[in-house]
Structure 1
Amino acid sequence: MADIIGAMYILLDTARASDFATDNSQMLNLADTFVSSLQNDLQALQNALSESDANALKSLLHTLKGYVTFLCNESLASQLIDIEAKAREMTAEQLQPLVNALLPALVNMHREVTDWREHLSKGS
Structure 2
Amino acid sequence: MDYQPDGQTPYQNTHSQNMALASLILGTLALLTCGCIYFAVVCASLGIIFALLSKGGSLTMNTSGKIGLVLSSLGLAFTLLLYIGLFLYVLKTYGGFDGFMQESLNFYGVDSIEELYQMMGVPY
Which TM-score bucket, shorter chain as reference? 0.3 to 0.5
Structure having the larger proportion of residues in helix: 1
| Higher RCO (Cα < 8 Å, 6 or more apart) | 1
The two structures have a TM-score, normalised by structure 1, of 0.35
Q: Which of the pair has more CA radius of gyration?
A: 2
